[in-house]
């Protein structure tokens, strides 16, 4: 019964979100399984992907993530302190995980769904090569890419929502 | 089965909680040494997103600051709890970050405290080094037309408060036995209301919408909702996600006036991408012949939603007994100019629409809290410079009170961070004198006790939270909200 309820809740999230949350769930499950025997160990993986973030001060921060992680997952897991990043926790309900890429990198990132585009349209400082970090998942082919955190995290709905 | 339940949901929660913790705990090296005899103490008035985001930033930037959030209701989170639509639960995820903030050792939450009645702004200013006003916009703009006071006419703020469980909106009990509802305004709040009025009950019953609202909507006879704006499709204030939700709403079909879209196709390609995509979606919905499957779906639909453009309200028309709304008289406009700056100008024509429910969704409005606090009644905000209240040392503002009542949570976040930055700058520069110790909550607690006011602290809210969640479990909802302040306080005393 609880599994049905839990999976119904998972199903309410978009498909991408579903696979991301099950990844988190199984990750936690596996971590906990190991903890019964050997203390808590992170999942070992030899196929890490290096990515570089450029923060709002222009500093380059190089980190590693695992294939399948979204860029938001990487920001969180690596404790990268971008103010206000990921407010809705990766559920396509805001635009605060907005990242900007070079054109050649942007082309490698894959198709953008209407859902993502709808939220991206509200991002402050939107460009032709913008994506939401929670929707871009790492693969080996993205080794060494650079993602820039743009100036501000404001949604533009403040100007679109009618005005006094 | 029960062991699986514990393991699966428990571990999922643990994994997720860890993920959330790391998302929200900034490891920030911005601590400063205060050459003072005490900690800087800041008081925040209002426990909604503005209050919590201001607190979050302050605590991160000044690790020894004491930040106290005062909130009138026993429950925190403001419009995140009472404004965000029940079918948009992801938007409420920010509550997790607010919870983290409230649990920081430097932060305290005091609910059930009415600033202005239980304690004055002056008393807060005496007890704290700085006071941040983040109490938002509890009033609303009125249409200012005859008949606005008839039964069946509501402000969007009250209607949303009703279905979201705001205690002082529970008496609304709107009559939903009419066929047509007219909503004035075309922002996201207007679209939320249209969607809630027309959503299948099977969808709503799995959300945290209140039980009385769910029952009323189950019995509702409303089959047609018109969403009316003064200007044209190119000026519409809502955003594409909400329009797409209307287009995809089960068992409904759109009803637009093709003439409203005249000339729009030609200009669309030159619009900036967000406006372009939104306009294209509306053009498609209004003008394109749907495919066979979609046409069939529309034919079978039992409910209708429509945008009506170039119309302004001039009068709410009463029934023969003159005690209820039975229609609305709309003036027909034309546009002067184009784009965002286009103006609606009366043509002299009017049009009457029969309806039994009128909801005015034309904007919230902030109210002044105290004569000693400067207030701009034209803009309905506290006049300020980057969050510093003009001509009032030690007084700051954030959120809608600072910029006016538009914008989403992320807008408020940025706005609040900016105010917090101004405050920290002022502490650093000495503009705000934090060298002398201040008593902070100690004094205020004493005052409140003398006045018979018992604050609700964060762990008390967690009792309310628990009760709501477990009541929700019985009906398959994420929570069953408590609907009165009395009931909330009762739970905290257990």
Can you read off the two tokens belonging to residue B11? 């571990």
User: pLDDT (tens digit, 9 = 90+) per residue, B37-48?
Assistant: 568 999 999 999
Residue with tokens 């100008």: B345
Residue of A nearest to B22 (CA): A76
pLDDT at residue B340, as a whole number: 87
Minimal CA separation from B188 to chain A, in Å: 7
More confident: A139 or A22: A139
Cβ under 8 Å to A: B residues 285-324:
none
pLDDT at residue B1, as a whole number: 46
CB contact, 8 Å: B52 with chain A? no
**Cβ within 8 Å of residue B209, ≥6 positions away:** B86, B163, B164, B196, B217, B477
pLDDT at residue A83, as a whole number: 87
What is the value of ipTM here, to two decimals? 0.85
CB contact, 8 Å: B139 with chain A? no
User: pLDDT (tens digit, 9 = 90+) per residue, A43-94?
Assistant: 555 689 999 999 988 999 999 999 999 999 999 999 998 988 999 999 999 9
CB contact under 8 A, A6 and B9: yes
Q: For residue B162, give the H/E element and its range.
A: helix B156-163
Interface test with B, best of A126, A157, A159, A163 (most B CBs within 10 A): A157
Residue of B nearest to A86 (CA): B23
CA A19, chain centre distance (Å): 13
What number of other Cβ atoms are within 10 A of residue B146's Cβ? 13
Tell me which residues of chain B have a pLDDT lower than 50: 1, 6-8, 25-34
Whole-angstrom Cα distance, residue B406 to residue B404?
6
Minimal CA separation from B387 to chain A, in Å: 16
SS3 B335: strand
CB contact, 8 Å: A161 with chain B? yes
| A154 pLDDT above the threshold of 50 | no
Q: Do B205 and B386 form a contact (C-beta atoms < 8 A)?
A: no
pTM score, whole prediction: 0.87
Task: Determine what percent of chain A is predicted with pLDDT higher than 90.
Answer: 56
CA dihedral B385, B391, B395, B399 (to 10 degrees): -40
| A37 pLDDT above the threshold of 90 | no
Q: Do B87 and B195 form a contact (C-beta atoms < 8 A)?
A: yes
User: pLDDT (tens digit, 9 = 90+) per residue, B265-275?
Assistant: 999 999 999 99
**Cβ within 8 Å of residue A105, ≥6 positions away:** A129, A142, A145, A146
Sign of CA dihedral B210, B213, B218, B223: negative
pLDDT at residue B11, as a whole number: 52
DSSP per residue over B268-292, as a string? HTTS-HHHHHHHHHHHHHHHSPPPH
C-alpha closest to that of B468 among B458, B456, B483? B483
| A157 pLDDT above the threshold of 70 | no
Question: Among A1, A3, A89, whose Cβ lies nearest the Cβ of B96?
Answer: A89
| A14 pLDDT above the threshold of 80 | no
C-alpha closest to that of B163 among B104, B119, B224, B205? B205
CB contact, 8 Å: A69 with chain B? no
CB contact under 8 A, A158 and B16: no
pLDDT at residue A16, as a whole number: 41
| A148 pLDDT above the threshold of 50 | yes
CB contact under 8 A, A87 and B408: no
Cβ under 8 Å to B: A residues 99-138:
114-115, 117-119, 121-122, 126
Question: Among B88, B244, B410, whose Cβ lies nearest the Cβ of A95?
Answer: B410
Question: Among B22, B90, B239, whose Cβ lies nearest the Cβ of A160?
Answer: B239
| A40 pLDDT above the threshold of 60 | no
DSSP per residue over B171-219, as a string? T------SSEEEEE--SHHHHHHHHHHHS-HHHHTTSS--HHHHHHHHH
pLDDT at residue B18, as a whole number: 58
C-alpha closest to that of B109 among B161, B50, B45? B45
């Amino acid at each position: 019964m609880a599994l049905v309820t839990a999976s119904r809740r998972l199903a309410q999230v978009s498909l991408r979100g579903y696979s991301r949350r099950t990844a988190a769930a199984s990750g936690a499950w596996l971590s906990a399984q190991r903890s019964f025997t050997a203390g808590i160990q992170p999942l070992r993986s030899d196929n890490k992907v290096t990515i570089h973030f450029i923060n709002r001060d222009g500093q380059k921060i190089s980190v590693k993530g695992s294939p399948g992680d979204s860029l938001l997952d990487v920001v969180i897991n690596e404790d990268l302190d971008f103010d206000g990043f990921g407010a809705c926790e990766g559920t396509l309900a805001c635009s605060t995980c907005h990242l900007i890429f070079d054109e050649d990198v942007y082309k490698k990132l894959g198709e953008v769904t209407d859902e993502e585009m709808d939220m991206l349209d509200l991002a402050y400082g939107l460009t032709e090569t913008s994506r939401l970090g929670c929707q871009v998942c790492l693969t080996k082919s993205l080794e060494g890419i650079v993602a820039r955190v743009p100036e501000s995290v404001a949604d533009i709905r403040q100007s679109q929502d009618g005005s006094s | 089965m029960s062991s699986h339940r514990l393991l699966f949901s428990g571990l999922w929660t643990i994994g997720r909680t860890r993920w959330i913790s790391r998302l929200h705990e900034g490891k920030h090296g911005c601590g400063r040494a205060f050459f003072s005899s005490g900690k800087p103490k800041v008081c925040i008035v209002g426990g909604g997103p503005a209050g919590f985001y201001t607190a979050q930033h302050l605590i991160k930037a000044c690790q020894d600051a004491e930040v106290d959030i005062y909130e009138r209701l026993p429950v925190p989170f403001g419009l995140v709890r009472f404004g965000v639509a029940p079918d948009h639960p992801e938007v409420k995820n920010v509550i997790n970050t607010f919870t983290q903030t409230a649990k920081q050792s430097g932060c305290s939450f005091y609910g059930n405290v009415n600033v202005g009645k239980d304690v004055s702004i002056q008393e807060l200013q005496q007890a704290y080094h700085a006071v941040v006003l983040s109490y938002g916009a509890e009033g609303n703009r009125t249409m200012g037309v005859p008949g606005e006071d008839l039964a069946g006419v509501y402000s969007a703020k009250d209607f949303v408060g009703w279905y979201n469980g705001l205690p002082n909106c529970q008496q609304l009990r709107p009559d939903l036995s009419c066929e047509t509802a007219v909503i004035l305004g075309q922002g996201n709040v207007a679209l939320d209301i249209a969607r809630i009025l027309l959503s299948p009950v099977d969808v709503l019953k799995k959300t945290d919408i209140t039980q009385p609202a769910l029952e009323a909507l189950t019995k509702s006879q409303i089959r047609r909702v018109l969403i009316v704006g003064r200007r044209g499709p190119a000026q519409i204030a809502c955003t594409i996600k909400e329009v797409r939700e209307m287009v995809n709403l089960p068992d409904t079909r759109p009803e637009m006036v093709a003439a409203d879209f005249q000339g729009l196709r030609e200009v669309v390609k030159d619009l900036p991408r967000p406006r372009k995509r939104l306009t294209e979606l509306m053009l498609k919905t209004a003008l394109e012949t749907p495919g066979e499957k979609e046409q069939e779906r529309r034919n079978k639909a039992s409910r209708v939603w429509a945008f009506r453009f170039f119309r302004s309200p001039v009068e709410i028309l009463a029934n023969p007994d003159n005690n209820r709304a039975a229609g609305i008289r709309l003036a027909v406009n034309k546009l002067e100019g184009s784009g965002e700056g286009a103006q609606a100008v009366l043509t002299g024509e009017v049009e009457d629409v029969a309806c039994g429910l009128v909801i005015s969704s034309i904007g919230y409005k902030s109210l002044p809290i105290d004569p000693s606090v400067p207030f701009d009644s034209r803009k309905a905000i506290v006049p300020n410079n980057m969050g510093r209240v003009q001509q009032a040392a030690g007084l700051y503002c954030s959120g809608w009170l600072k910029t006016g009542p538009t914008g989403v949570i992320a807008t408020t976040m940025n706005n609040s961070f900016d105010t917090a930055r101004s405050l920290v700058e002022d502490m650093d520069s000495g503009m705000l004198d934090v060298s002398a110790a201040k008593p902070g909550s100690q004094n205020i607690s004493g005052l409140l006790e003398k006045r018979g006011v018992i604050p609700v602290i964060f762990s008390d809210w967690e009792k309310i939270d628990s009760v709501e969640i477990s009541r929700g479990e019985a009906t398959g909802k994420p929570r069953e909200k408590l609907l009165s302040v009395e009931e909330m306080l009762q739970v905290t005393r257990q």
